[in-house]
Structures are given as structure tokens and as C-alpha cells.
A and B are shown apart, each in its own frame.
Chain A
Amino acid sequence: MTELQTTPAQNSAGDTARTAASDATPLTGSPLVKRGLADMLKGGVIMDVVTAEQARIAEDAGAVAVMALERVPADIRAQGGVARMSDPDLIEGIQAAVSIPVMAKVRIGHFVEAQVLEHLKVDYIDESEVLSPADYVNHIDKQRFTVPFVCGATNLGEALRRLAEGAAMIRSKGEAGTGDVSEATKHIRTIRGQIAELQALYRISPDALYVKAKELAASYDIVLEVARTGKLPVVLFTAGGVATPADAAMMMQLGADGVFVGSGIFKSGNPAARAQAIVKATAYFDDPEKIAEASRGLGEAMVGINVGDLPAPHRLAERGW
């Protein structure tokens, strides 16, 4: 598989704990700087945008970053067909329009789309189940890239496998393009619950962590680290179905570090007002008075689809493993 990947390994140390320490060699693409950008996005809202105009609205509303794509998940769902990386012209148009970080999506396993986005100097790549997978066996070897990656997960094992591949940020998947927050709730609760379980085992029965690692299909070392610290070693955002300020605040109260909002903003009646309201509710997620204030007079939320009404083949969260 490696001979197929022509990207030179720019940081061959990968995810080992290599730091600049006292030597004078600058270090780009290290795990610390990849994860560090995600650290600076905490408490913030990352918004899907399909035009430069939408990107400016998002920036003006207080988004910490934008996700540049051709179709929001609700439209991918409605229109069907194969969903792929966006046109470089579209991505560059959005990069030129805003000063906040710009992210873009590649198909699961499509390392050449990732090489293209790295060349375009996007700030983060989302290896996303919202697009059609390009490889049903392998995800991208993300350690080979200088640009950081965010990946989706529905449970802790999936999150830890993505970390082993070099992901520098995790988002719970939810069910994109539905406006139904129930799957996002399920996934963040599952991941947080599994972390709490590991933490408890570490205290009372650490020898059981070997079998846990096997069950989670993740390396023992990373399972041990999560059990010891009680958290992922990277930032954990939530995605997939957030449509209101209260949705965003609930994700934060459930332990998310921040939220992605896809179709929820630009498929609503008043995108600028709703975008700013979600930013406010995310920052003051534990203050019902401010969430109430932010929720007033926003007009129509996206119409949405109940996840229960979606036939199984149309559930995006089941893509990736």
C-alpha cells in the first residue's frame, strides 16, 4: 500500500512524542502543532459553507473556522449520487474570502484528494463519511501529511483507530444533513461513556485493560493513556444534526469541546442570525438565560428528517469503521 502513496513522509516521526526541545530545528506538522490548532478551536462553532458569501456570513457571525464544500449534507442527501472533494476553485475562493481557518472534506481513504487539499494549503482536512467512501478497507495514513486531519467516530474504538492513523481531532458523527440531533447525542454519550468506563477500570481493575484494548480494536498503549487521563489526547467536537442554539449547548454540556454545524445554518430561514445565536449558545452553554436569549426570533429552523425515517443505506454514520 505504501508504494501507492507517493507523498513523501514529511514527518517520519509521525505521532511519536517528538518535540523541538532545545534543538534549534523548527518542526512543522508535528502532532503538537496539528492537535494545537484544534485546541484553539475549542468552545467554537465550525460552519459548513458552499460559497464565499456564506463564508463571510459565517466569519461575521463568529465562526472559529469554516468547512468549504460544494453541497451541504442535506443537499447531498436530497440529490444523491457520488459526493467527492470540492473543486479547488471553490475552496480557493473561500480561502480568499475569510481570515479564519478553512477546512475541506475528502472521501474516506482517498489519499490523493488529501494530497490536493494539502497542496491548496487548507488548514484542516476532514476525512468524512458525508462524502462517498473511496476505500472500504483503509482510511488515509494521516501521519504522512503535514496538514492535520479531523475524522468522525460513533464510538471510542473508532476514535482510537483514527488517532492511530494520525487524526489530530475527532468529531462524533451524528447523522449529517438531517437536523435531527439524536444521533449526535448518542455518539457523544457513547464516546464519553466508554472513556468513563476505561477510567473506572484503570482504578479498580487495570489488568482488564488488555482485553478492553482487544474489544475496542485499538492499541493497548492508547487505551491505557485514555484510561489514565480520562480523556482523548485530542479535541473532541460534535457534528451531525445540530440545528438550534439549544442543540449546540446540549452537545457542550454532554462534554463536547465544540460543534460543527452543517446544513443547520444555511438551510434555515435566517442564516446570519442563527449562526450568531449558535455561536453565543456554544460559548455560554451552561447559562440557560443566555441560551434562551439566543434562541429568540430566529425564524424557521431547517425542516429536517427524523433519523428513524431514513432507510439504513442512507445513514452516513455507518460509513467508516
Chain B
Amino acid sequence: MSSAPRVGVLALQGGVAEHAAMLRELGAEPVLVKTAEQLAGLDAIVLPGGESSTVDRLLRLFGLREPLRDAVLGGLPTLGTCAGLILLASGIEDPAPGQQSLEVLDVTVARNAFGPQTASEEVALAWGGGGDVVRAAFIRAPAVTRVGEGVEVLARHRGAVVAVASGAVVGISFHPELTGETTVHRHLLSLVAARRRLPA
């Protein structure tokens, strides 16, 4: 009943180890996911930052896109950070040629919306409506340019929407795993706990 939640981290490319370390620190069991079989038995999944066009290509080349999409649509609590947010989005304004997304979160995103690496920055960000502040690192970060119906906005940065949630899916533009900020991951684990309380 109270066993450590098994949280997948999509491990095709990007900042995988940082998410795994943070999940372990919070008492979860991280599971690196590179194949469809590894999706079985997960309580949640994290789509980490990386190069979104590379991850999209690998997902499709190795037949992982559809099983991952089915898992998220099936209610698996999901957190996408940076490139992970781009993967979740239903639309990308400026995709790399041929780039696709999972289309599981009703938002449109713009890649690299704040400028080149010299504009990447660490900031303190108001999170949710309860007066929480999170330490966020934006690195060639995307922004949400259209928020669909029923999608909640959790944070804004420089006038742009940078954190959204819909059902058990959370997408953020920034990297809490780099600053050691645990608020967002704890939120993901609370979604797992809520799901476990539901009758099977």
C-alpha cells in the first residue's frame, strides 16, 4: 500500500540523472525508461529537459511514442519540464522540420521563446495561487502561447505562461531539478497519492 511510488524518467536524451536523483531524495523509486516495456507498472512519469527535436525523433524511431501517449492519456501522472513540456503540447509554433509532439496537453508552445543561451537565467518565481515561490532555471526555455480550455496556469515569467496543469498532467518551462527545487516534484507525487486513493 505505502510502497515507494515507481516514477519513470524518459531516458532517451537530456537531464535524466538530475530528475532521478531528486525523485530518490523524495522517497520515490526512479525507473529509467527507454523502451515501451519499461512503461509497465509505473505510478508516474517525468519527461525531462533535453533537445525536444532529438527526443521526438528517437520516440518515433523506436516505437515509443504511441505507448507513451497511451499511458499519459490513460491518466498516468505526468510531469514535463522544458523539452518535456514541448513533447506534451498539442501544438508547437516553431517546430524543427517534421517535429511532432505527443498532443496530450491542450496548449501551444513556442520553443526557445526567451532568446539564446546568453538570456538563460535563474529566477525566483511565484508558483500557484498560494504565495509559494520556486527557484527556477530557464535554459533556452519554451513558453506557452495558447492555453486550452480547462488548463490551469500555475506560473508566469516575463509576461509568458511557463507552467500549466490539466488533470494529472503538469508541464513547466523551467528546470527545478537543476536548482534543487522540490515543490513541483512533490506536486507530482501528491498526484500519485491521490490516484492511489481512488477505488480501482
List of B residues within 8 angstroms of A15 by Cβ: none
Q: How far is the CB of B172 from chain A (nearest CB, A)?
A: 14
Q: Known contacts A40-B51, A100-B53: does B121 contact A27 (CB below 8 Å)?
A: yes
Interface flags for A265-293 (1: CB within 8 Å of B; 0: not) read 00000000000100110011001001000
Beta-carbon contacts of B14-36 to A below 8 Å, as 1s and 0s? 11111000000000000000100
User: Which of chain B's residues 104-118 have a Cβ closer than 8 Å to chain A?
Assistant: 111-112, 115-118
Please tell me if B128 contacts chain A, counting CB pairs below 8 Å: no
Does A230 touch B at the CB level, under 8 Å? no
Q: In the complex, are the beta carbons of B120 and A28 less than 8 A apart?
A: yes
Provided the pairs A21-B135, A40-B83, A43-B12 are in contact, do residues A147 and B118 lie with their beta carbons within 8 angstroms?
yes
A60 — nearest CB in chain B belongs to which residue? B97
B133 touching A62, Cβ below 8 Å = no
In the bound complex, what is the Cα–Cα distance between A40 and B16 (angstroms)?
9
Instruction: Name the interface size band of chain A.
Output: 35 or more
Q: Which of A21, A40, A62, A64 has the most CB of B within 10 A?
A: A40
Contact of B117 among A56, A123, A279 (CB under 8 A): A123
Asked if B4 CB lies within 8 Å of chain A CBs, one says no
Given A27-B123, A32-B137, A59-B96: A43 and B118 interface contact (C-beta under 8 Å): no
Stretch at the interface among B37-45, B54-62, B186-194: B54-62
Residue in contact with B116 in the complex, picked from A41, A121, A279, CB distance below 8 Å: A121
A42 to B54, CA, bound (A): 11
A residues within 8 A CB of B178?
Answer: 32, 36, 39
A276: chain B residues at CB < 8 Å are 61
In the bound complex, residues from chain A placing their C-beta under 8 Å from that of B138 are 33
Given contacts A28-B121, A42-B14, A64-B50, 4 further A-B contacts (CB under 8 A): A22-B124, A29-B118, A40-B14, A146-B118
Q: How far is the CA of A123 from the CA of B118 in the complex (A)?
A: 7
**Closest A residue to B123 using CB positions:** A26
Residues of B within 8 A of A19 (CB): 122, 135, 179
Contact of B15 among A22, A24, A40, A290 (CB under 8 A): A40
CA distance A123 to B116 in the complex (A): 6
Residues of A contacting B17 in the complex (Cβ-Cβ under 8 angstroms): 42
Task: Name B123-146 residues within 8 Å CB distance of A.
Answer: 123-124, 133, 135, 137-140
In whole angstroms, how far apart are the Cα atoms of A40 and B140 in the complex? 10
Are B51 and A33 interface neighbours, CB within 8 A? no
User: Which of A23, A121, A287, A290 lies in contact with B124, CB distance below 8 A?
Assistant: A23
If over half of A's interface residues share one DSSP class (helix, strand or loop), that class is named, otherwise mixed; here it is loop
* B82 touches A (CB below 8 Å): yes
Knowing A39-B18, A99-B96, A123-B116, the reply to whether A32 touches B122 (Cβ < 8 A) is yes
B199 within 8 A of A: no
CB-nearest residue of chain A to B58: A283
- The answer to whether B140 touches A37, judged by C-beta atoms less than 8 angstroms apart, is yes
Are the CB atoms of A37 and B13 closer together than 8 Å?
no
Q: Which of B14, B50, B54 lies in contact with A63, CB distance below 8 A?
A: B54
- Contact across chains for A30 and B34 when beta carbons are under 8 A apart: no
Please tell me if the beta carbons of B140 and A123 are within 8 angstroms of each other in the complex.
yes
Contacts of A123 in B (CB 8 A): 116-117, 140
On whether the beta carbons of A148 and B13 are closer than 8 Å, the reply is: no
**B98 close to A (CB within 8 Å):** yes
CA–CA, A233 and B97, complex, Å: 34
In the complex, which of the residues B34, B61, B94, B179 contacts A99, with contact meaning CB atoms closer than 8 Å?
B94
* Complex Cα spacing A283 to B59, Å: 11
Q: What residues of B have a CB within 8 angstroms of the CB of A100 in the complex?
A: 51, 53-54, 96
User: Chain B residues near A22 (CB, 8 Å)?
Assistant: 124, 133, 135
* Nearest-CB residue, chain A, relative to B56: A62
Q: What residues on B are CB-neighbors of A148 within 8 Å?
A: 117
**Residues in chain A near residue B140, CB distance under 8 A:** 37, 40, 101, 123
Q: How far is the CA of A123 from the CA of B120 in the complex (A)?
A: 10
* B117, A147: Cβ atoms closer than 8 Å: yes
Bound Cα distance A41, B25 (Å): 24
Asked if A26 and B122 make an inter-chain contact with CB atoms under 8 angstroms apart, the answer reads yes
